[in-house]
Amino acid sequence: MKNSVLLSICLLTIIRTAAVAGDVPWLVEVTAPPTNLPIAHAGFIAPLLEADGKPIRNLEEWQVRRAQLLREWNKFLGKVADRPKSKCEIIETRRLKGYVRQRIRYENEPGQQIEAWLLKPSAASGVHPMPGIVALHQTTRDTIDEIAGLAGPEMQHLGPKLARRGFVVICPRNYLWEDAPTIPEAARKFLARRPGVLGMSKMLYDARRAVDILAALPEVDANRIGAIGHSLGAKETLYLAAFDDRIRAAVASEGGLTFRSTNWNAPWYLGAAIDQPGFARNHHELLALIAPRPFLILGGESGRGAADGNRSWPLIAAAQKVYRLSGEPIRLGLLNHGQGHSIPDPVRDRTVQWLEVYLRR
């Protein structure tokens, strides 16, 4: 336990030291909470900076508490499987303006294959290593084709935009569109195959497997990997950043931090347990697990499907206390654009800037 705590402290020190060189110019704008926190939808927010009734005063004490939170969350989520170490197979390659797009296939769960799009900057060929991004798609029948720029609205074409800016991007398909005609049926099949394991654990497993593939590429700097996602993809981004320290910076757009903001109780996410009286977990704990790595939440505030906004602040503010243990500035915040369940153009540009700055290109 002592060695793991010391290693975690060293990692936090490295991240903090690497981050002091500069910040996005609008950092204060997104990290300042409102004067009055709207707590109506926040749910139970357990104290983070307490352990056995005693206050947590420094990073070393926090690491002990952090390890406890990880154990409790992993027990709740359940374990899918050990991740294999096989590499990916390139199925097709196409050169486009500013990037190369490849359809790849790789072993996901042991014995199971999955496909993803891999986008590589063409202008940066020979310039290695490059930062990498795991780009997680929203709920759409187009799945990976949308986020990779082959289908759907341009607003969702995050992969090409990032690839043209010098990132190697992997876009893995979510399990809900694998071998089942509907989302509920896909969830039912998985839950029957892995009793006691939550659907969100499967999504986390798949996202971490995508990090494995990305980090193994010779043109990718494994120390500069980020993540981004909208809606469903934002939920995955939150969990991926919380449980995988290889994610050094991330942006989660409209995933819904509070359990009441969206359908977190669906069987393909966390299930009905979160609605039970006395349920002790909440997402401020996951934000705290990410500290002190930069994490930006995009909120649309209101309108059809809007999931994040000022109602997300009680959870963010609670986690910022953990970020503060690492010193100022705090790099956890909310960009509330107020334009509903979307990623408007100016906001999309800011998300790219966030990843560029904090992945230290």
Measured in degrees and rounded to the nearest 5, phi and psi for residue 161 equal: -60, -40
86 against 141, higher pLDDT? 141
Interaxial angle between packed helices 199-216 and 183-193, expressed in degrees from 0 to 180 and rounded to the nearest 10? 90
Q: Which domains are present in the chain? A: 2-358 (3.40.50.1820)
pTM of the model: 0.92
Mean pLDDT (whole number) for 335-360: 95
Q: What was the pLDDT predicted at 124?
A: 57
Angle at 151 between CA 149 and CA 152, to 5 degrees: 105
Would the pLDDT of 85 be above 70? yes
- Interval 178-202: pLDDT, tens: 989 999 999 999 999 999 999 999 9
Q: CA 221 to CA 38: how far, in whole Å?
A: 40
Name the nearest CA neighbour of 358 among 178, 219, 211, 226: 226
| SS3 annotation, the chain | CHHHHHHHHHHHHHHHHHHCCCCCCCHHHHHCCCCCCCCCCCCCCCCCCEECCEECCCHHHHHHHHHHHHHHHHHHHCCCCCCCCCCCEEEEEEEECCEEEEEEEEECCCCCEEEEEEEEECCCCCCCCEEEEEEECCCCCCCHHHHCCCCCCHHHCHHHHHHHCCCEEEEECCHHHCCCCCHHHHHHHHHHHCCCCCHHHHHHHHHHHHHHHHHHCCCEEEEEEEEEEECHHHHHHHHHHHHCCCEEEEEEECCCCCCCCCCCCCCCCCCHHHHCCCCCCCCHHHHHHHCCCCEEEEECCCCCCCCCCHHHHHHHHHHHHHHHCCCCCCCEEEEECCCCCCCCHHHHHHHHHHHHHHCCC
Q: What was the pLDDT predicted at 179?
A: 85
Confidence of residue 10 (pLDDT cuts 50, 70, 90): very low
Residue showing tokens 């654990």: 201
Would the pLDDT of 211 be above 80? yes
Would the pLDDT of 2 be above 50? no
Q: What type of residue sits at position 189?
A: K
Q: What was the pLDDT predicted at 6?
A: 45
Would the pLDDT of 9 be above 80? no
Q: What was the pLDDT predicted at 13?
A: 43
Q: What was the pLDDT predicted at 125?
A: 57
* Percent of the chain whose pLDDT exceeds 70: 93
Average pLDDT score, the chain:
92
Q: What was the pLDDT predicted at 5?
A: 44
Q: What was the pLDDT predicted at 1?
A: 46
Would the pLDDT of 348 be above 70? yes
Would the pLDDT of 242 be above 60? yes
17 against 54, higher pLDDT? 54
- Interval 269-327: pLDDT, tens: 999 999 999 999 999 999 999 999 999 999 999 999 999 999 999 999 999 999 999 99
Alpha-carbon distance values, 144 to 139, 158, 188 (Å): 10, 11, 22
Confidence of residue 12 (pLDDT cuts 50, 70, 90): very low
- Interval 112-133: pLDDT, tens: 999 999 999 997 555 679 999 9
